[in-house]
Copies of this chain bind each other. A is one copy, B any other.
Amino acid sequence: MAGKAGTTRGRSMTVNMDDIARLAEVSKPTVSRVLNGSPLVSEATRERVLQVARAHGYAVNRNAQKLRQARTETIAVMLDFGSHRHGRIADPFVFELLAGVSEALSVRNQDLLLSPPGLSDAQACIDLIAGRAADGFIFLGQGGREPMLRDLSRSATPFVVWGAVNPENSYCAVGSDNRLGGRLAGDLFVTRGARRWLFVGNVEHEEIRLRHEGLRQAGDAADASIDLLLVEHMAYSAVYAGAAAWLTRHPAPDAVFAFSDTAAMAVIAAFRDAGLSAPDDYALVGYNNIPPAADFTPAITTIEQETHLAGAILVEKLMQQIEGSRAKSTMLPTRLIVRDT
């Protein structure tokens, strides 16, 4: 009947396993066994221990646990806030990915450490693992960090990447078939009879580079010209500004492929302000098939990525690596959704 959280000498305020052991009149290891669901413990003592633990609001110290165990049960997730920020976020797309990963991790009882922006070199990542802050990494979007990922793949660090799937890369990546996405857009432009195409996006991002490449394949076959509008960053406003500026210095294209649906919206706005409208003056294809794309005016033709499975797949493949196997890269289904533009 020692009231609240009693402890060894009345010094500490926080209940630990020793306290529970004493109060339940068992040994410390037994408490541990109970809390970890070991079968090597009688029903009676299990009940008693659990009751005492609950009554005293006891929770296992995760840090002591992680210190003692081989695995930390923590996964570091790296978002490229950097390229998506700058004012305001571009796209809900990455967020959906994050939600999926979060859910998949929680199913496996893994903690999600959302890594700080600017942790951009391989050594910093290696140190995070060495410091036992996490067991592995999930990178959501390659961003411009292709080189560092290559560095990282030379270490033993377990990690997976959402982004471009390149057979030459030595690491495990999951993503849509970006090159095919580009080709599908290009094929559509061809059927529309467009000749002066414009690609909007930053080709330093591997995913986007591949889309550009796919588009060019289709364009070369059809003898179309392809200009490149390199936007400063992914935010809506930057795309809008870039597209508006483009039109003041170049003849208007008759087909535009934008790196995201949000970017496509920005293009539509900028072009409209210049008196151009899709699909009358130009064909337009976006990427991701975010929900508003369907109901935008005009409804945006786009490439769909299968994101709802992404989280689970990424986590699955990462776990394989952490457990010592290798994991193969995968390309998810990718298709064109034709709408008004």
| Chain A interface residues toward B at CB < 8 A | 14-15, 57-64, 66-67, 72, 77, 79, 81, 84-85, 87-92, 94-96, 98-99, 102-103, 105-106, 111-118, 126-128, 130-133, 235-237, 240, 262, 265-266, 268-270, 272, 290-292, 295-297
Contacts and interface: CB of A to CB of B under 8 A. Distances in A.
B99 A81 contact: yes
A178 B105 CA distance: 34
What is the count of identical protomers in the complex?
Answer: 2
Contact of A61 (B67, B268, B270, B290): B67
B62 A131 contact: yes
B292 A236 contact: yes
Given A91-B92, A92-B95, A116-B102, A262 B61 contact: no
A190 to B, nearest CB: 28
Among A72, A88, A131, A266, the most chain B Cβ lie within 10 Å of the Cβ of A88
Given A95-B95, A240-B295, A297-B297, A103 B81 contact: yes
B77 A72 contact: no
Nearest to A88: B291
A251 to B, nearest CB: 23
B118 A106 contact: yes
B63 A84 contact: no
A62 B99 contact: no
Contacts of A98: 114
A194 B88 CA distance: 33
A99 B272 CA distance: 31
Contacts of A235: 291
Contacts of A90: 92
Given A117-B102, A235-B291, A132 B61 contact: yes
B103 A99 contact: no
A33 to B, nearest CB: 18
Among A63, A85, A98, A118, the most chain B Cβ lie within 10 Å of the Cβ of A63
